[in-house]
Amino acid sequence: MKSVTAKSKTYAPRPDYFSIPALETVAAWLLAIIWIFPLLYAFWAAFHPPAYMVRFDLFAPLTLDNFKNAWAQAPFARYYLNTFTLVTGVVFAQFVVCTLAAFAFARFPIPGKNVLFMLVLIQLFVFPEVLIVENYRIASELGLINTITGIGLPYVASAFGIFLLRQTFKTIPRELEDAARIEGCNWLEILWKVYVPLAKPTYLAYGLVSISHHWNNFLWPLVVTNSVESRPLTVGLGVFSAPETGVNWATVSAATLLSIAPLLVAFLLFQRQFVQSFLRAGIR
Amino acid sequence: MHVRIPFAMTTLAAGLLSAAQVNANSVDLTMYYPVSVGGALTDVIDNLVAEFENEYPDINVEAIYAGNYDDTRVRAMSAIEAGDAPQLSVLFSIDLYELIEQNAIVAFDDLIETDEEREWLDSFYPGLMENGQLDGKTYGIPFQRSTIVLFWNKDAFEAAGLDPETPPENWEEMAEMAATIREASNGDQWGVMVPSTGYPYWMFQAFAFQNGHRLMSDDGTEVYFNDPAAIEALEYWVSLTTEHNAMPDGTIEWGTLRQNFLEASTAMMWHTTGNLTAVRNEATFDFGVAMLPMNTQRGSPTGGGNFYIFEDASEEEQRAAMTFIRWMTAPERAAAWSIETGYMGVSPAAYETDALQNYVEEFSPAAVARDQLEHGTAELSTYQGGRVRRALDNAVQAALTGQMTPEEALNQAQREAEGVLRRYAR
Amino acid sequence: MAEMTSHRRMQLYGALLLLPAAVLLATFAYLPTITTVINSLFLPGFRGAPAEFVGLENYQLLFDDPTFWKVARNNLIYAIGTIPTSIALALGMALFVNGKLRGRGFVRMAYFTPTILPMIAAANIWMFFYAPQIGLFNKLLGALGFSGVNWLGDPSMALGSVIVMSVWKEAGFFMIFYLAALQGIAPELKEASDLEGTSRWSFFWRVTFPLLMPTTLFVLINALINAVRVVDHLFILTKGGPNNATNLLLYYVYENAFSFFDRTTAATITVVILLVLAVVATVKFTILDRRTHYQ
């Protein structure tokens, strides 16, 4: 269960040991091109008139019309706002709830702690979308249908976040805690001044993973939202581009790019942090 | 967009006025609606709503686009369950039984107060009312309604040596023409495509009805999927691929079919009239629209969405919803809506407006759906409609993809549907 | 005595700190699990009649339903189709990217990028590839003189097409775990084997691959969970069709609950899914956690 992150801090190639002959370079590149091609194609389609969707022509005229159409045909601005609110809210709430729980598991003598912890870990497997029918009913009874809270709340007590933070907290030396106590800090101050600052990399990692997860989440938001006021980007995109609407493909491409753009740009800018975070968070 | 600003301004001005004067009387309505064809229909709806609010400053309508017909039903039902019911919605015309079973909707007959309103209720094409009525009461008012029509590419007909002005009259001709085109194009172009995802049961209903067969009872409790006439109809559909080599193998995607037609990868397609305007705007070739071919008779099921008013709304809200629906279905609006989309003008009066008369004169395909209406039949609608339709969808797809013979497939669908409907027998 | 109270107080604090998470987990994980199981044992009343306890009858009905078996089989094929392929590809990618390679940064980015797209967006893009006649794949086949394939409309191809897209989406994610593990392998091992003249191939199978075993098991568990939980792409690509050829368990739950308004069948299938996940969880907690030795 422990993390391998200590050994994977760098991406620097190891000198020579695994040098790759030419054939493999070609294979690696070929695979890379295949892998990135769908995205490039979407770009190409989004910036050219619909007629060129299925006819490749290097000199096809460039256009922004598809983006204008997509923007005009669906309330993407609102979807952005919803997704943004959702993601910030969920991540913030997860930080608070998971920090408290992780702190309890790491430092407090709770009776039956191991059993409780196992119970928490069950949620790694029984996630909200599997229980979609009952969670829908519960959300409905709590008046959370068609609210952004309703999309996010089931994910707030994240077993994964609790686990990750507990691991980190456990590695923090007791001496630091004792020193703070001598200075007169109470438990919450110790948590805030000692544990949280030292766990920053974990928060970053978990935050990035959580952001990507909730930016991309679809099934539960689809079920729990009814209207533009609460629909996140993924659901908006799904509703907009479902094949039976017959919306033209170039517009769908543009809409697709619109919905992935912020995350994609963030990823391209902070590639290393993203990969490190997924890695750190993934080994559990 | 530039049209919208004055709209918004006037709405705002009207809104301010009404806020000052009749604040206490203003009514807020929420309405879900679906879009299942191409084109920027949400814009059209938004503009209509803005215009309405302008005329009736006391009534605010929030129109929520909720996806395709299935999505919209799910959204509306879930809102009801969550105690946040809309006051009215445009839902699938065939959702009637499910909505009644859930006690979700009210009959328009019970809301009507004046003779004028009674007259309005009787002003629609009877063929479009069929799916909205049960036990002599009207629950659904036709709005975005369609039938299936045949689109044909005149250039492709000409290239294959066929008369570009003559679409197929009957099944035999359609198969022959389609095969001719396929051959003449050396396999580059298909003769005909009938979509078999999305709403396969709907297309199949057309075939069955053209073969003189209706697939369900009037009260939504029985279906007749494996009647010999139905089996024959499915056999014909399958034979377009297997025998005539005129239609591609496997299922044909509802959503991308229009694109296929526009790319000339098929010379004919069956599709909803709701696509008419979109095809007209994007086609780079000469095309025509005709009634579907016949076998023993002409025929197409009607389709599309009706207005419903919900039980949970207050009396005042229901009255306001009536006002809105009457306004939306008035001849001028029905005409404008038809011109913008290709959906039918829902009443004879709509086709008598100057706007629609001029449009039909200039663009004759616009009248085909209306003319076909006299050969129309109600869309497949039963209790447990979701499951029953799915059973038939699966049968159609199983036959078209060669997993089962049409007879086996329809026998299975019939068994499944009977199982589901057993509790509803009257 | 003072000692005791302080311990007590610690317990109380701990419990209070746990409380928010406990309430939320109870509401959205434990409670719904229990009610799902209960619902699967009842038949809802018809036209207002109260629900009736029927024991395991709903399971009997479900197991008699050929569609359920078809869907379950699809899910199994989907898992078998996606998991080994994406793991093998992920390992290959990691080996490529771990070595000296011109443009390594770009290659790594290309492999990883699909991972951060929403499944819905990925499905939208692949829809253009798979569309018959006018889609890219068939245009390419056509250019090479082959007749087109109805990728999503032919029941014998459709599930395979869905699998290919999932592999594309997932492989890059698993790659990073292999990459990290590879970078954790001591270079001395390679040096030693070079001195002995071991071929790269046998070095891989005799040294690298066994050392990567924990990572492989970890990735396997994740892949298994994803094979059950991710059905977003079906909403765009196939809606489970044609004739249920691509329907997966969770999508079938969604259909039953929200298209057919049959919450009972949905609950019954959900219990089946929960059982599958329980097996995966048991494997993880007992076998995997005991055998792995990350550090």
Q: What residues in C contact A54, CB-CB < 8 Å? A: 134-136, 139
Domains of chain A and CATH, by start = 75-282 (1.10.3720.10)
Q: What's the pLDDT at A54?
A: 66
Q: Of C45 and A234, which is predicted with more confidence? A: A234
What's the CA gap between B338 and B280, in Å, rounded? 13
Q: Does A114 touch chain C (CB under 8 A)?
A: no
Q: What's the pLDDT at B398?
A: 94
Tell me if residue A7 falls in helix, strand or coil: helix
What percent of chain A shows pLDDT beyond 90?
36
Nearest neighbour of B250 by CB, restricted to C150, C258, C259: C150
> Using the beta-carbon criterion (under 8 Å), do C132 and B187 form an inter-chain contact?
no
CATH of the domain at B237: 3.40.190.10
Is residue A15 very low, low, confident or very high in pLDDT (cuts 50, 70, 90)?
A: very low
> Using the beta-carbon criterion (under 8 Å), do B66 and A226 form an inter-chain contact?
yes
> Using the beta-carbon criterion (under 8 Å), do A143 and B82 form an inter-chain contact?
yes
How buried is residue A57: exposed, middle or buried, by Cβ count under 10 Å (0-12/13-18/19+)?
A: exposed
Kindly state whether residues B74 and B22 are assigned to the same domain: yes
Nearest neighbour of A239 by CB, restricted to B67, B253, B282: B67
Q: Does A135 touch chain C (CB under 8 A)?
A: yes
C-beta separation of B162 from B189 below 8 A: no
Q: What's the pLDDT at C196?
A: 80
Nearest neighbour of C257 by CB, restricted to A108, A132, A253: A132
Kindly state whether residues B41 and B116 are assigned to the same domain: yes
Q: What is the number of domains present in chain B?
A: 2
Nearest Cα to Cα of residue B210 among B291, B271, B292, B299: B299
Kindly state whether residues B158 and B12 are assigned to the same domain: no
> Using the beta-carbon criterion (under 8 Å), do C239 and B197 form an inter-chain contact?
yes
Residue B249 structure tokens:
């193998």
Residue B352 structure tokens:
């008598």
Q: What residues in B contact C46, CB-CB < 8 Å? A: 423
Mean pLDDT over residues A185-195, rounded? 89
Q: Would you say residue C295 has pLDDT above 60?
A: no
Q: What's the pLDDT at A98?
A: 96
Q: Of C171 and B2, which is predicted with more confidence? A: C171
Is residue A6 very low, low, confident or very high in pLDDT (cuts 50, 70, 90)?
A: very low
**Residues 56-95 of chain A whose Cβ lies under 8 A from any Cβ of chain C:** none
Lowest mean pLDDT among A171-185, A237-251, B69-83: A237-251
> Using the beta-carbon criterion (under 8 Å), do B84 and A145 form an inter-chain contact?
yes
Residue of B nearest to C259 (CA): B386
Domains of chain C and CATH, by start = 64-291 (1.10.3720.10)
CA–CA min distance B62, chain A (Å)? 10
Lowest mean pLDDT among A80-89, A182-191, B407-416: A182-191
Structural domain for B316, as ranges: 4-146+303-374
Nearest neighbour of A131 by CB, restricted to C10, C33, C231: C33
- CA torsion sign, A29 to A35 to A38 to A39? negative
Q: What's the pLDDT at C289?
A: 65
Q: Render A15-56 in DSSP notation, one character per residue.
A: SSTTB--HHHHHHHHHHHHHHHHHHHHHHHHHTS-GGGTTS-
What is the CA angle A79-A152-A164, rounded to 5?
A: 125
Kindly state whether residues B198 and B240 are assigned to the same domain: yes
Q: Could you say which of B340, B355, B374 is where a domain stops?
A: B374
Q: What Cα–Cα distance (Å) separates residue C199 from each residue in C88, C206, C210?
A: 20, 10, 16
Is residue A95 very low, low, confident or very high in pLDDT (cuts 50, 70, 90)?
A: very high
Q: How many CB pairs under 8 A join A and C?
A: 305
**Residues 144-173 of chain C whose Cβ lies under 8 A from any Cβ of chain A:** 168, 171-173
Q: How many CB pairs under 8 A join A and B?
A: 80
Q: Does C275 touch chain A (CB under 8 A)?
A: no
- At B122, give phi and psi (nearest 5°): -95, 5
What percent of chain C shows pLDDT beyond 70?
95
> Using the beta-carbon criterion (under 8 Å), do B251 and C150 form an inter-chain contact?
yes
CA–CA min distance B341, chain A (Å)? 13
> Using the beta-carbon criterion (under 8 Å), do A157 and C24 form an inter-chain contact?
yes
Kindly state whether residues B71 and B164 are assigned to the same domain: no
Lowest mean pLDDT among A121-130, B241-250, C12-21, C78-87: A121-130
Neighbour subunits, B (≥3 Cβ pairs < 8 A): A, C
Q: What residues in A contact B282, CB-CB < 8 Å? A: 50, 248
Per-residue pLDDT of chain B (426 residues; tens, 9 = 90+): 333 334 444 444 444 444 444 445 789 999 998 876 555 677 788 889 999 999 999 999 998 888 778 888 888 888 887 777 899 999 999 889 888 888 889 999 999 888 999 999 999 998 899 899 988 899 999 998 889 999 999 999 999 999 999 999 999 999 999 999 999 998 889 999 999 988 899 999 999 999 999 999 988 899 999 999 999 999 999 999 999 999 998 899 888 888 889 989 999 999 988 888 888 888 999 999 999 999 999 989 998 899 999 998 999 999 999 999 999 999 999 998 888 888 888 999 999 999 999 999 998 888 888 888 888 889 999 998 889 999 999 999 999 999 999 999 999 999 999 988 988 876
> Using the beta-carbon criterion (under 8 Å), do B401 and C242 form an inter-chain contact?
yes
> Using the beta-carbon criterion (under 8 Å), do A226 and B36 form an inter-chain contact?
no
Q: Would you say residue C134 has pLDDT above 80?
A: no
Q: Is the peptide bond before C242 cis (omega within 30 degrees of 0)?
A: yes
> Using the beta-carbon criterion (under 8 Å), do B43 and A145 form an inter-chain contact?
no
Kindly state whether residues B159 and B192 are assigned to the same domain: yes
The per-residue b/e assignment along B72-97, b for 16 or more CB within 10 angstroms, e otherwise, is: bbbbbbbbbbbebbbbbbbbbbbbbb
C-beta separation of B253 from C131 below 8 A: yes
Q: What's the pLDDT at A79?
A: 93
Q: What residues in B contact C258, CB-CB < 8 Å? A: 74, 78
Q: What's the pLDDT at C290?
A: 61
Kindly state whether residues B63 and B122 are assigned to the same domain: yes
Residue C66 structure tokens:
């050929």
- CB proximity list for C116: less than 8 A, separation 6 or greater: A212, A216, A260, A263, A264, A267, A274
Q: What's the pLDDT at C135?
A: 82
CA–CA min distance A166, chain B (Å)? 37
Mean pLDDT over residues A107-126, rounded? 88
> Using the beta-carbon criterion (under 8 Å), do B249 and C260 form an inter-chain contact?
no
> Using the beta-carbon criterion (under 8 Å), do B282 and A248 form an inter-chain contact?
yes
C-beta separation of B208 from B214 below 8 A: yes
What percent of chain C shows pLDDT beyond 90?
43
Q: Does A265 touch chain C (CB under 8 A)?
A: no
**Hey, of B46, B84, B197, B341, which one would you mutate to test binding to chain A, going by the most A CBs within 10 A of its CB?**
B84
> Using the beta-carbon criterion (under 8 Å), do B250 and C239 form an inter-chain contact?
no
Kindly state whether residues B140 and B171 are assigned to the same domain: no
Nearest neighbour of A244 by CB, restricted to B39, B81, B254: B254
Q: Does C51 touch chain A (CB under 8 A)?
A: no
CA–CA min distance A242, chain B (Å)? 8
Q: What residues in A contact C136, CB-CB < 8 Å? A: 41, 54
Q: What's the pLDDT at C47?
A: 67
Q: What residues in A contact C111, CB-CB < 8 Å? A: 31-32, 35
CA–CA min distance A32, chain B (Å)? 29
> Using the beta-carbon criterion (under 8 Å), do A228 and B64 form an inter-chain contact?
yes
Nearest neighbour of C241 by CB, restricted to B74, B98, B197: B197
What rounded mean pLDDT belongs to chain C? 87
Kindly state whether residues B105 and B157 are assigned to the same domain: no
Q: What's the pLDDT at A61?
A: 84
C-beta separation of B329 from B143 below 8 A: yes
> Using the beta-carbon criterion (under 8 Å), do C154 and B384 form an inter-chain contact?
no
State the number of CA atoms in the 13 A half-sphere of B276 facing the CB. Answer: 30
CA–CA min distance B177, chain A (Å)? 27
CA–CA min distance C183, chain B (Å)? 47
What's the CA gap between C146 and C141, in Å, rounded? 5
Is residue C150 very low, low, confident or very high in pLDDT (cuts 50, 70, 90)?
A: confident
Q: What's the pLDDT at B36?
A: 60
CA–CA min distance B75, chain C (Å)? 9
Lowest mean pLDDT among A66-75, A156-165, C16-25, C28-37: A66-75
> Using the beta-carbon criterion (under 8 Å), do B403 and C243 form an inter-chain contact?
yes
Q: What's the pLDDT at C92?
A: 93
Kindly state whether residues B384 and B344 are assigned to the same domain: no
Kindly state whether residues B247 and B185 are assigned to the same domain: yes
Q: What Cα–Cα distance (Å) separates residue B39 from each residue in A216, B144, B186, C98?
A: 27, 14, 33, 49
Q: What residues in B contact A72, CB-CB < 8 Å? A: 1, 40, 43
Nearest Cα to Cα of residue B254 among A240, A251, C132: C132
Q: What's the pLDDT at B5?
A: 38
Nearest neighbour of A245 by CB, restricted to B81, B255, B263: B255
Kindly state whether residues B154 and B129 are assigned to the same domain: no
CA–CA min distance A83, chain C (Å)? 13
Mean pLDDT over residues C218-237, rounded? 90
